[in-house]
Amino acid sequence: MRAIVWTRYGPPEGLRLEEIPEPTPDAREIRVRVFATTAAAGDCELRALRFSFGLRLLVRLLMGPLRPRNKVLGQEFSGVVDAVGRAVSRFRVGDPVFGTTGFRFGAYADYVCLPESSPDAALTGKPTRMTFEEAAAVPTGGLEALHFLRRAGDLADRRVLIVGAGGGIGTFAIQLAKFFGAHVTAVDREEKREAMLSVGADRVLDFAREDYTAGAERYDVVFDVVGKSPYAATLAILAPRGVYLLGNPNLRTMMRGFWTSRTTATNVKFGAAKPTTEDLEFLRGLIESGRVRSLIDRRFPLERMVDAHRYVDTGSALGKVVITVSPGSDTTGGSSLRGAGFNRV
């Protein structure tokens, strides 16, 4: 099968299209024919080791000191089940699905195997009102946004400021905060204004022209998706007993957050989401009811993964950058493989 092989840490040119053996599902696994995946910001950061010095060392210990042991990146995917293990009960061959592999990765390929149930991955049926490409753009951003906003508590009638609101997590954060009843101010580039308004933002600030920490307005919740908000100045715009959500903090910011939470009435919260099927099904319900949708900036075929990563590295992507793996995956179908000769293994 085709796969994008991760050959070295560093620039996108370390990703190469190669032929590798197809995976075989074990008794409790399914194999998905991948129709679409994404060039997620997290995949790009991992590829380039774009972390603080201490975290880079930790990642090298986990992923390989000199070169990556896990040869195929990619967490988000959508596709169709094409083989199931003998103990699988939730899925049948031909089922259209979407989800995230978690730290197993492997979605940058024609096929990926994963357990039908797992504590560190999420998998469920694809929303019927989404294409495969639209569905592939949901899991990581949607689950991260849901995780952080839930940690802020009841959002009804609260003022929420989202920094980095035009990206893969931020566009879902806008929609979820509105669903939970918040008034949302979105901060990002001016060219993303109309898109952020289209998914529910009540107000949009261009960070290049407006200092969102300089005004008189106070917010009940500030969600910094990208980890670039000025720490002290952001605390100053929080309302009493406000919540500061840090989506991508460095070690120094985390230490400051611990101290702030311990010594003041402000709550600083961070920590990545643990993907669960239950949360993904919650998002699917919102999608099917028309409350949540994905925004796709650009689409690239699998063989242009290097170009996709280069574009994500610019930081200008609106919503998600989607990778089309299988031709014809831009339809909402998927049941055509059911009964097509694929077997339980």
Please report the pLDDT score of residue 336 as a whole number. Answer: 33
> How many Å apart are CA 21 and CA 111, to the nearest integer?
10
Quick check: is 202 in a domain? yes
Average pLDDT over residues 224-247: 94
- Cβ pair 218, 241 in contact under 8 A: no
Where does a domain end: 270, 285, 309?
Answer: 270
> Comparing 114-123, 147-156, 330-339, which segment has the lowest mean pLDDT?
330-339
Q: How crowded is residue 191: how many other Cβ atoms within 10 Å of its Cβ?
A: 11
Q: Are residues 97 and 45 in the same domain?
A: yes
Q: Are residues 7 and 127 in the same domain?
A: yes
Average pLDDT over residues 86-99: 96
CATH number at residue 221: 3.40.50.720
Distances 16 to 5, 285, 302, 303, 305 between C-alpha atoms, Å: 5, 37, 10, 8, 8
Per-residue pLDDT tens digits for 182-203: 999 999 999 999 999 999 999 9
- Cβ pair 282, 180 in contact under 8 A: no
Quick check: is 342 in a domain? no
Quick check: is 6 in a domain? yes
Q: Kindly report the pTM of this predicted structure.
A: 0.91
Quick check: is 282 in a domain? no
**pLDDT above 50 (res 343):** no
> How many Å apart are CA 306 and CA 8, to the nearest integer?
13
Please report the pLDDT score of residue 318 as a whole number. Answer: 94
Q: Which of 136, 126, 191, 140 is nearest to 170 (CA)?
A: 140
Per-residue pLDDT tens digits for 200-220: 999 999 998 999 999 889 999
Q: Which residue has the tokens 């951003």?
A: 141
Q: Which residue has the tokens 């040869």?
A: 71
Per-residue pLDDT tens digits for 283-336: 999 999 999 999 999 999 999 999 999 999 998 899 999 999 986 555 444 333
Q: Are residues 87 and 174 in the same domain?
A: no
Q: Are residues 159 and 203 in the same domain?
A: yes
CATH number at residue 110: 3.90.180.10
- Cβ pair 179, 297 in contact under 8 A: no
Per-residue pLDDT tens digits for 31-89: 999 999 999 999 999 999 888 777 888 888 888 888 898 789 999 999 999 999 999 99
What is the radius of gyration, based on Cα positions, of the chain?
20
Phi, psi of 299 (to 5 degrees): -120, 135
**pLDDT above 90 (res 91):** yes
Q: Are residues 184 and 243 in the same domain?
A: yes
Per-residue pLDDT tens digits for 159-189: 999 999 999 999 999 999 999 999 999 999 9
Q: Are residues 17 and 134 in the same domain?
A: yes
Quick check: is 310 in a domain? yes
Quick check: is 343 in a domain? no
> How many Å apart are CA 322 and CA 308, to the nearest integer?
8
Q: Are residues 221 and 327 in the same domain?
A: no
Q: Are residues 156 and 73 in the same domain?
A: no
Q: Into how many domains does the chain fold?
A: 2
Quick check: is 285 in a domain? no
Q: Are residues 43 and 107 in the same domain?
A: yes
The band of 341, judged by pLDDT with boundaries at 50, 70 and 90, is very low
User: Which residues, in sequence order, are CB contacts of 296 under 8 Å at separation 6+?
Assistant: 133, 134, 137, 319, 320, 321, 322
Q: Are residues 61 and 74 in the same domain?
A: yes
Residue range of the domain that includes 254: 141-270
Please report the pLDDT score of residue 273 as a whole number. Answer: 84
Please report the pLDDT score of residue 62 as a whole number. Answer: 84
Q: Are residues 62 and 16 in the same domain?
A: yes
Quick check: is 83 in a domain? yes
> How many Å apart are CA 301 and CA 323, to the nearest integer?
5
Q: Are residues 12 and 84 in the same domain?
A: yes
